[in-house]
Amino acid sequence: MTDPTSTPPPDDDADLQAAEYVLGTLEASERDALRDRAMVDGARAARIRKWEARLAVFNDGYDEAPPPPDLLPRIEAALFPPSDPARARTQRGGFLTGWLGGALAAAALAAVLFVALAQFRPGPPPPVSLSAELAAEDTDLRLSARWDGAAGVLEVTRTAGDRPATQDYELWLIDATGVPQSLGLLRAEVTQLPVALAPGQVLAVSLEPEGGSPADAPTGPVLAVAELTEL
């Protein structure tokens, strides 16, 4: 029976090279070249497989080696080969210290940018305040309207004129559609009405039967009209 570990004739360079490849004794450049050639050269690949089978008997008595502990020093040594052990320790410490220092610096910069952006972030626009002055031409009726955009409340103050005994003043809103919308009756000297308004809309006051207009539009004379403008 042939000994699986027997060596080939000394003149068989290709076979010896395959054996050295399996044993791991080739130079890195020669190993890479042989590996690349074996991918396209079936004879070379067969020689390598044959030597793997021959030398496999030496592995039978050994358990699979566990992964080596603490790979970081080896990786750093491969990446940054030192000239002496003291330099190796210095480079390893400098590498880790620099990495941690860079991470802390980046975190600090992010915190500073966050605070700066929070300080200079524009806030919500201030609420709009609107006003209108309504004055009747044929009577002494005078009304001052103020709308607080923050509260959404229109306050109408009767600064002159009395309320008719058997009639009511009714306030209307006219927007871009031109269709009047009743906002309510103005019976008190100061009337507050919750409503959403916008610049350019128009307020109008009509004289209606007691209780207000029976229709969806003024039925009595329109006494005063004014456009809402920003304060």
For 180-219, the pLDDT digits (tens) are 999 999 999 999 999 999 999 999 999 999 999 998 899 9
Query: Looking at residue 160, what is its pLDDT?
Result: 93
Would the pLDDT of 164 be above 70?
yes
Compute CA distances 106 → 29, 92, 103, 111, 231, whole Å: 41, 21, 5, 9, 48
Compute CA distances 218 → 82, 190, 194, whole Å: 96, 22, 21
Assign 30 a pLDDT band (cuts: 50, 70, 90).
confident
pLDDT digits (tens, 9 = 90+) for 3-21: 444 444 444 688 888 888 8
Which domains does the chain carry? 13-59 (no CATH), 71-120 (no CATH), 129-230 (2.60.40)
**Could you give the count of Cα atoms lying within 13 Å of 187 in the half-sphere of its Cβ?**
10
Top-confidence residue, 148 or 2: 148
Whole-structure pTM value: 0.48
d(CA 148, CA 195): 10
The average confidence (pLDDT) of the chain is 79
Render 26-65 in DSSP notation, one character per residue. Answer: S-HHHHHHHHHHHTT-HHHHHHHHHHHHHHGGGGTTSPPP
